[in-house]
Chains A and B, each alone.
Chain A
């Protein structure tokens, strides 16, 4: 095999495509600008919403409680709470977001407590609405404490120890390392992002170098040169892989920078909300290596589609079902509870998606890694062979 010719074809395709605005947009501008803007934008917006919900003064209505002065007085001492006058239309006011929540203290509440009789406090909120739920949580916390205080008072009155009703504690301790936790959280999203960017970066160059060449009439020009068909396909495949890999790496880099910025600039919020970005660069590198055969597979499949199509319009119409075949398996990494096994390790896209998730969460099953890498290489080799064979078929190249 003449590596010289392969290099000549590759360098020409690279130069040609880098001068194409659409390729530059899909390969560089989208991953470097659009993805960080989306990540940072959506992140900033959601953190802003959470922050607003946490720091804003909650509006709460007390219904009843006129004969329970001690309870209502303690309630009114809560910080960051504005109490609004009682209104029989409180449910509508909660629905209309005029108040966050309402608490109904039954008549004779304190008298019942003093007599040891049962009593029920009702809290009204609007589930799914973050500000309403925050207000309801404040009320629940208050009455939980109030109940504990009442129990302690009762025990003290009877000269009984405070831990009589709490014979033991239950405590949960995390044994997962930080990268494992973040691997499960962010790590579920990263394989999906990588796979999508891997395909997105390959689509335009693959179609341009095949169906585009047919359309522009340059296919016959290059076929009349002494270069062997296999060198032409491999040169084009290398170019598509370069575009795919570059898009993937740039997307990861820009996403990493965005996540770092969110973590750094929104440190107080992310800490409180369990947002954890702690993925090892070594794991990321390993994922990129696992993705290498996938770039060959995607490049070859897309080249084969582009070769088969009569023109770029026809090629684009074939891409829609292909994207479905990639998007849905790639999304499996986002589903909780989906774990890699020997059956799934042989299914393309699904296997690398789940394996990448495992690697990013710090788990290394070398047997799975070997099976996934091996099967991916085999699929890539088959796809590349198909692309080369298609390139040698007159009925495909000159398909009218």
Chain B
């Protein structure tokens, strides 16, 4: 379960002054549900997810992730999430197995449990062939699988995906989409952000349209279509962003 309550984040820039990246953002996502943050670049999706992953701190507001408060217990929050984005790269000089092992150990997993979990995940993601190959020598698709294994190694109840298919080829992107569905099927709480309408349509149970740091509209796809009176999600998005719902 993820509950976000009035999150606000300000950035200070020498040239542009104070930037309100998030302005009292609130939403809720239940286990077995995918909540999609849909917005253009710079809308505040990444900032919101980084705050949920406790990589950034909010200026005001709070959120609870799997029952842990992001301000009061950031380490416990991180122990309960799997965070995956295009910015979460791999250590090129470690092998796929060493990389996943490292994060398993940091999550406090005991060695026998870790080994069994790595075996299971590598089988699930078909990674045994390149398990001992260094990450720097892997293809983009292989790297993405390693990132997924890293995010899942401690079997967290909450998954956060920040534009996970950005820059990936269609086959790798399909693998990721399938994997996110699988997370929902296994009862995980999934926060997903994208600016790709088709992915949001395919995956999300609830959608929050975010623009200028504010959630302008929220609901199921059917609710958003009904509210705007159009069927095409792109049109729905444009109408809401332009303030003509």
Contact = CB atoms under 8 A, between A and B. Distances in A.
A8 interface: yes
Contact of A228 (B55, B75, B83, B94): B75
Contact of B89 (A12, A16, A217): A217
Nearest to B89: A217
Contact of B93 (A19, A220, A221, A394): A19
Given A216-B89, A218-B89, A221-B150, A15 B94 contact: yes
B36 to A, nearest CB: 20
Given A8-B102, A16-B93, A225 B78 contact: yes
Interface stretch (B103-111, B198-206, B220-228, B232-240): B103-111
Nearest to A17: B93
B179 interface: no
A226 B75 contact: yes
B169 to A, nearest CB: 19
Contact of A20 (B50, B76, B79, B93): B93
Interface string A196-237: 000000000000000000001110110111111000000000
A16 to B, nearest CB: 5
B54 to A, nearest CB: 8
B57 interface: yes
B79 A224 contact: no
B57 A225 contact: no
A225 B107 contact: yes
A217 B75 contact: no
Contacts of B134: 19
A223 B103 CA distance: 11
Interface string B85-118: 1011111111000100011011110000000000
B106 A394 contact: no
Interface in A4-26: 5, 8-9, 12, 15-16, 19-20
B81 A394 contact: no
Contacts of B89: 216-218, 220-221
Contact of A226 (B88, B93, B108): B108
Size category, A interface? 20 to 34
A216 to B, nearest CB: 6
Contact of B92 (A8, A15, A216): A216
Contact of B102 (A12, A217, A226, A395): A12
A220 B87 contact: yes
Contacts of A227: 75, 106
B94 A16 contact: yes
Interface footprint category on B: 20 to 34
Contacts of B98: 15
A221 to B, nearest CB: 4
Contacts of B76: 226
A15 B105 CA distance: 15
B91 A218 contact: yes
B29 interface: no
B56 interface: yes
B55 A223 contact: yes
Contacts of A20: 93
B37 interface: no
Nearest to A215: B89
Contacts, number: 61
Given A19-B93, A224-B88, A8 B75 contact: no
B47 to A, nearest CB: 10
B55 A220 contact: yes
B93 to A, nearest CB: 4
A228 B92 CA distance: 23
Contacts of B56: 394, 398
A394 B134 CA distance: 30
Nearest to A400: B13
B176 interface: no
A324 to B, nearest CB: 28
Contacts of B102: 8, 12
B68 to A, nearest CB: 11
Contacts of B25: none
A226 B55 contact: no
B53 interface: yes
A217 B106 contact: no
A224 B90 CA distance: 13
Interface in B146-188: 150
A8 B106 contact: yes
Contacts of B85: 220
A224 B78 contact: yes
A223 B50 CA distance: 10
Given A12-B94, A16-B93, A220-B55, A226 B87 contact: no
A216 B12 CA distance: 25
Nearest to A216: B89
B53 A218 contact: no
A394 B57 contact: yes
Contacts of B107: 225-226
A100 B16 CA distance: 76
Interface in A377-400: 394-395, 398
Nearest to B162: A220
A205 to B, nearest CB: 13
Contact of A221 (B12, B50, B88): B88
A224 B147 CA distance: 12
Interface of A: 5, 8-9, 12, 15-16, 19-20, 216-218, 220-221, 223-228, 394-395, 398
29 contacts: A8-B106, A12-B91, A15-B98, A16-B91, A16-B94, A19-B93, A19-B134, A216-B89, A217-B87, A218-B88, A218-B90, A218-B91, A220-B50, A220-B85, A220-B87, A220-B89, A221-B88, A221-B89, A223-B55, A224-B78, A224-B83, A224-B88, A225-B78, A225-B106, A225-B107, A226-B76, A226-B108, A228-B75, A394-B57
The 10 closest A-B pairs by CB, nearest first: A217-B89, A224-B83, A226-B79, A221-B88, A226-B78, A19-B93, A225-B106, A220-B87, A227-B106, A8-B105
